[in-house]
Structure 1
Amino acid sequence: MGITVNGIDIDDALIEQELPHHQQAANPLKQSVHEVVLRTVLLQEAERLAVPGEDDDARIEALLAREVKVPQANHEACLTYYGKHPRQFTRGELVEARHILFQVTPSVPLELVRETAEAVLAALKAEPGRFGELAAQYSNCSSGALGGSLGQLARGACVPEFDEVLFRLGAGELAGKLVETRFGLHIVEVVRRIEGVLLPFDAVRAQIADYLTTAAWQRGVHQYLQILVGRAQIEGIVLEGSQSPLVQ
């Protein structure tokens, strides 16, 4: 059975046209079908409400602008967000760090790599002064020749999971657990920290207001899509929620 939205068949050609836009998705075909169905629901609603537009994209934009209303973020909301996320508005923060990388490869079982890494981590907890020696012996990173040194790093310079650990550790602190990234398993130590400067609230207030207003609008659109999908007669597919790149 084909896919229909309120009795209207979804043309396979529309899905084929949409497919190239979702090649990075886990399931490009599924995401494309999902997107086409949502667009159809929105365009049918625009037709029902006689919302004008030069093309389909313009009609959808006009529909959302008309039907989804969110308040602008006020001073109190911005100040609360600023107080809860100081790191986001801190500039000049640096850490001097070192690591030992245990690279995961198809030829070596992950559990064997993990076992070795855990043993080295245990040895460092017992004798922290051996970091350089063990980095030179075990690290699969070129930094091993430098005792594992990565030099000074700014926030955001590394992959997120590594970055998060780096800027959580204090000076001279060794991460108590292995850090897993797409590169493998890491033993991480922060040698020194250079604290950054928190930007004043007035300098970032407009940025925070834009972020909070945009986030509220996206939540509003998501809720609106849920309402439209909930009352539409959709056959041939079950939509898992109504989140869509249309509204991001």
Structure 2
Amino acid sequence: MDCSLTNTLPKPRTISVNGTVIPREMIAREVQNHPAEKPILAWQAAARALVVRELLLQESERLGIEAEPLRDAEGRSETGEEAAMRALIEREVGMPEPDEAACLRFYEQNRARFRSGDLYEAAHILIAARPDDVAARTEARLTAENILAAVRGDPALFSEFARSHSACKTSAQEGGRLGQLTRGQTVAEFEATLERMRPGEFAIAETRYGFHVIRLDQYAPGQVLPFELARDRIADYLTASVQHRALAQYVSVLAGRAEISGITLAAAASPLLQ
């Protein structure tokens, strides 16, 4: 019998912050907000999030902070506790805005992030074969190689072969044309073959579906977005990053002077920002 508790919830354990107990029922409700590979990890993340919440609530009460609940764009209102925590963070945690120099520096160091994807216009002929059928794979490879040799000799035959041989019925009706493709729209093996090709070339890609005879018609390399168009996105990213670090430091200070039992509050601010 497997007695491992690795994938089960921990045994009942009282978790408290300065004597205030966090009920297990509350942790159980919070678990849904912290998906994880194992239930115990989700439980621990939920418990830490509620410990952080309790630290902030106790600190806002100690400082006598109150705030009017705000509504979001969809009309949902904060609770009184959420408003108090927001006001506490706004008052106690420094949130400097990134300047132009910081944004430009990030842009120059991460230009690949702001490059649009390469664009391919391609066609294919799929000779289907199941991955576990060795005989069928061998026959499919031979068929694909014969078609490849034929279309290299006479490219005009490609559409005819697509209509008569391709197992991809949708593209077969269009002479094998797939239209415009970007990264992530095809399986990795197909994509890797496209990246090695030049317009006008033919090649074979082996995938779990079988063997694809590919024709690359056009290729347009991605372009780097100008800094002026990326500035706002960079500023938002840097602001969020600074806020995360500042909040982590602040929660660590609160945790350091609090009496927390039943759980270790590692990486204290992380649960708060999820």
TM interval, short-chain normalised: 0.5 to 0.7
Q: Which residue of 2 aligns with 1:68?
A: 93
* Per-residue deviation, residues 88-146 of structure 1 (Å, max 9, x unmatched): 3334631357999xxxxxxxxxxx99xxxxxxxxxxxxxxx79xxxxxxxx9x999989
Check conservation: 1:170, 1:190, Cα contact below 8 A.
no
- The letter for the 1-side match of 2:24 is D
Counterpart CA distance in 1 for 2:177 and 2:44 is: 45
Q: State the identity as a percent.
A: 35
Task: Select 1:9's aligned residue among 16, 21, 44.
Answer: 21
Counterpart CA distance in 2 for 1:237 and 1:216 is: 27
Alignment RMSD (CA, Å): 4.9
Distance 1:228 1:186, change over 3 A: farther
Check conservation: 2:52, 2:269, Cα contact below 8 A.
no
- The letter for the 2-side match of 1:33 is A
Counterpart CA distance in 1 for 2:65 and 2:196 is: 57
Counterpart CA distance in 2 for 1:238 and 1:52 is: 29
Counterpart CA distance in 2 for 1:81 and 1:17 is: 39
- The structural deviation recorded for 1:34 is 1.8
Check conservation: 1:91, 1:197, Cα contact below 8 A.
yes
- The structural deviation recorded for 1:69 is 1.1
* Per-residue deviation, residues 181-212 of structure 1 (Å, max 9, x unmatched): xxx89999995631133332222222221221
Counterpart CA distance in 2 for 1:40 and 1:33 is: 11
Alignment of 1:1-248 (within 5 A): 1-22=13-34, 24-26=35-37, 27=39, 28-54=42-68, 55-91=80-116, 93-96=118-121, 152-155=180-183, 157-158=184-185, 162=188, 169=195, 171=197, 193-248=219-274
Check conservation: 2:171, 2:178, Cα contact below 8 A.
no
The structure that has the greater radius of gyration is: 2
Check conservation: 1:6, 1:234, Cα contact below 8 A.
yes
Check conservation: 2:171, 2:177, Cα contact below 8 A.
yes
In the alignment, structure 2 segments of 5+ residues that lack a partner are 1-12, 69-79, 127-131, 134-147, 150-166, 199-205
Q: Normalising by structure 1, report the TM-score.
A: 0.63
